[in-house]
Amino acid sequence: MGACRRVWRLGGCVGPVLAWIGALFLGSSLAQPPPASCPTGVPPSNLSQPQYQSIPGADTGFMSAVVQSFLHTVQPNPFPKDLLVNLLEGNGNIYDDKTTIKEVLLYEVGFLVCAAIGIVYIILMPLVGFCLACCRCCGHCGGRMYQRQTKAVHCHRRGFYWATLLTTLVILSGNICMFFSNQFLKVSVEDSSIEVNKTLDNLQTYLTAVPQQIDSVLIESNKTVDEVTRSLSNIGPLLGREIQRSLEGPLNHALQSVSDMANVVNSTSILLVRLDSTLTHFQSDVAVVQANVSSVRDRINSTLRNPNCNECSADQSELQKLTFDTVTIPSLSELQSAVDNVTKADLNSKVKEGEDFFASIPQKVTNDTKDVVQNVMQQLEDIKRQIFEVKGNIPVSTLSNISDTLGEAQRYISMYSPQAERVEMIRWAVGIILSCVVLLVVVCNLLGLFLGPVGLSPKDVPTERSSTADCGGTFLMAGAGISFLFSWLLMLVVLLLFILGGNVYTLVCQPWRSGQLLQFADTAGLIHGFNLGKTLGLKSNLTLTEVYNECEQNRPLWTTLHLYELIDLNDLLNVSKYTEEIQQHFDSNEIKLSTITLLTHEIRKQLHSFSAIAHDVDFSSVRQQINNIASINLNETADRLDKLAAIQPDRGIQLELTQETTVLREIQLYMNTTIIPQLTQLNSTIDALSVIASHINRTLGDVLSKVGTAQDFLNTNTSQIVKAESKEFLDCQMGYFMAYADWANLTITQQVGLCGPVAKAVDSAEVIVCSNMVQSLNAFWFSLGWCMIFFVPSIIFSINLAKFYRRMKHSDVYDNHIAMNTIPRAQVKPY
């Protein structure tokens, strides 16, 4: 009974089993190999650019527009390049060269005229002041304390007042400019050391970054060579996988179909084993039933033939139909034999053999390419060594020497910065003193202009003016006296600073900003032994102007310094000369994959036999036999016998028939509990075998088709696939070199050594020297000279105005517009 239940359960799972088998076939037909692709190498990293310190740009400068306009008026001549060349060639000895002296004087005529005016001012101001002081002491030139009163006296006083005030305000504005320019010059000098250090630090950063950038490019070549080396070291997994990708489509389809066929055979074998077991139990139980039914039938027939049996002859014919046959399956042994033959062929071992062949491809590639990989790796080391020779062709040592020079300059700046700060503090103090002297004159004038009008009453006679007014007049005279006393010294300062600052601006700053100074420095033979092109080993001439213009546009060193004359980058990065020999090594090597037979002729024959026998099994007749047995119903016969027994007059016959009906019902009960479940299981198993048999032809055709396709593909295309994938693998590796060559070419020619910081350093030096220091210095002497020029009208106006406020010693009466003077009376001398 337990065996019967297990077979019945299998029969209930036939639907899911068949669905699983169908899914296997469907999956094998739809499976596609993943697309092959060239593995990506390590992309070159972007070349990092150094970070530079920010440097303030050029300031507009205090009074720079006014001062520059004045200097352009004084010196309208262009930059004297030829004259300076002659001076330098003569080492500054021009005393015997009258032509050169004349050219120098003509070029400096504007400065000479201004210097002559300054010298006249320096000579005349103290001389005029001394003469005026002497005259006034003698009572002349306004020294006599007497003021004539006229009707225009008030008009004159007001005119001199406003003229003095206006002149004083002009001097005050110039004095304010002196204070500001002096402070700006101090700030410029203090900031110059910081800005110079920042500029030099930027240059140091740049000079340090250039070799690092070159090393970065070379390191990328190492990465490329190392990447190719790693790929060659892993050629088995890499190339083998690509070969597997090309083979796995048809091979996997074939192996999967064979595996599915093996599963079908195994399922058939299991079903046959269980069918045989169920059929054995069934036939044993049926034999018992048959014996019992035959015994009962014979006893009933004997009773029915009894002459005393009433109306029994009619049921004898029905009792003849009371038979119980067993189930027989034709060709079952042949099917079992065919299944056993295919099982002995072990299709799974063929699948395993194909899988082992597929899995052994990477190791086979590794073994067959061992020698060529070693040769190529040695050549890669040679390539790495050749690429590293690039650094030797680039003048990195020159950059190192410049960096050492800049470091020495920074040390000197740090050493002498405290002394420079002390000198600047003294200069600033002197500038403050000079500004205060001018401010003292302004203060005296302003006090005189304030106290004079406050203390003056128009009705007062000159001899009776108030002390306040007299004090105002005294302050005006004091301002004039201080002007006479210090103006010539201040003008001497103006003259010296004008000659110095003016010529620095016209000969250095202005041509520096316009680029003429660099063109002058490029003059052949100007600097003995200096030739930038020869220093770098170039064939062509290279000027500082060209370098500056290129750096101003932040161009790389490759174009700025004409490095293409030193290095043939196209030849160095010509990948073909490296790859040709590698290609030859690979072409001379051959990867030979072993041949494999997926299904032998014998196995194919056995599969055909299995398919034919399975197709010939008549499962419909088996189902008919099962249905015939299942249709037997002994209870109906028992019911008829019960009716027959009821009409029998003979009590013995009635009892015999009743006993037999009881036995028939017991046999039917046994059939219901034992035979019928076994029939159900037999039917389910037969259905499962029938479904497999109905698909076996199509399945076998699919298997043989895929196996044949895969076998033909392996026999005809394996060598071509190996060659094609080997070439593609090599192209991939050479692609790394191509990508590196393109990147290196682009990086070296467009990114290495972007020299914008060099141009910015030059511009920063011009800003520090010219835009800040020289302009502030020129603003100071221009403001001081401005004040000195207006000292002259200030002296004149203040001296004349002072007489209207000072207390006179001699009076002059003004009555009815007629000035009356006291007439001394004659005195009679006694005799």
Return d(Cα 687, Cα 438) in angstroms, integer.
128
Which residues does 238 contact at the CB level (< 8 Å), separation at least 6?
39, 231, 729
Radius of gyration of the chain (CA): 63
Return d(Cα 493, Cα 9) in angstroms, integer.
124
Pick left, alpha or beta for residue 102 (phi over 0 → left; psi -120 to 50 → alpha; otherwise beta). alpha
| Residue linked to tokens 């009792």 | 319
The residues with which 810 forms a beta bridge, in sequence order, are 146
DSSP per position, 671-701: IIIIIHHHHHHHHHHHHHHHHHHHHHHHHHH
Say if CB 285 and CB 678 are below 8 A apart: yes
Domain ranges of the chain: 65-220+394-545+757-820
Which residues does 84 contact at the CB level (< 8 Å), separation at least 6?
507, 520
State how far Cα 207 lies from the chain centre: 24
Retrieve residue 136's tokens. 């006034």
Mean pLDDT of the chain, nearest integer: 76
Which residues does 457 contact at the CB level (< 8 Å), separation at least 6?
465, 466
Alpha-helix residue ranges (DSSP H) falling in 505-555: 510-514, 516-521, 532-535, 544-552
Confidence (pLDDT) at 151: 65
Query: 719 to each of 194, 246, 381, 584, 598, how far by Cα in Å?
Result: 73, 11, 31, 18, 18
Return d(Cα 249, Cα 634) in angstroms, integer.
62
Would you say the pTM of this structure is higher than 0.75? Answer: no
Closest CA to 196 of 506, 508, 411: 411
Return d(Cα 798, Cα 171) in angstroms, integer.
13
User: Tens of pLDDT along 651-692?
Assistant: 888 888 788 888 888 888 888 888 788 788 877 877 787 777
Torsion of CA 394, 396, 398, 402, to 10 degrees: 140
| pLDDT higher than 90, residue 428 | yes
Closest CA to 591 of 779, 464, 415, 718: 718
Say if CB 667 and CB 289 are below 8 A apart: yes
| pLDDT higher than 90, residue 497 | yes
CA atoms within 13 A on the CB side of 740: 29
User: Tens of pLDDT along 579-612?
Assistant: 766 766 676 666 767 677 777 777 777 777 777 7
Return d(Cα 733, Cα 697) in angstroms, integer.
49
Which residues does 299 contact at the CB level (< 8 Å), separation at least 6?
656, 660
Say if CB 567 and CB 744 are below 8 A apart: no
Confidence (pLDDT) at 6: 34
Q: Please tell me which of 31-45, 181-195, 556-570, 678-692 the model is most confident about, judged by mean pLDDT.
A: 181-195
Confidence (pLDDT) at 15: 40
The residues with which 438 forms a beta bridge, in sequence order, are none
User: Tens of pLDDT along 503-559?
Assistant: 999 989 888 888 888 888 777 666 665 666 666 666 667 788 888 888 889 888 888
**What is the separation, in whole angstroms, between the first and last Cα of the chain?**
198
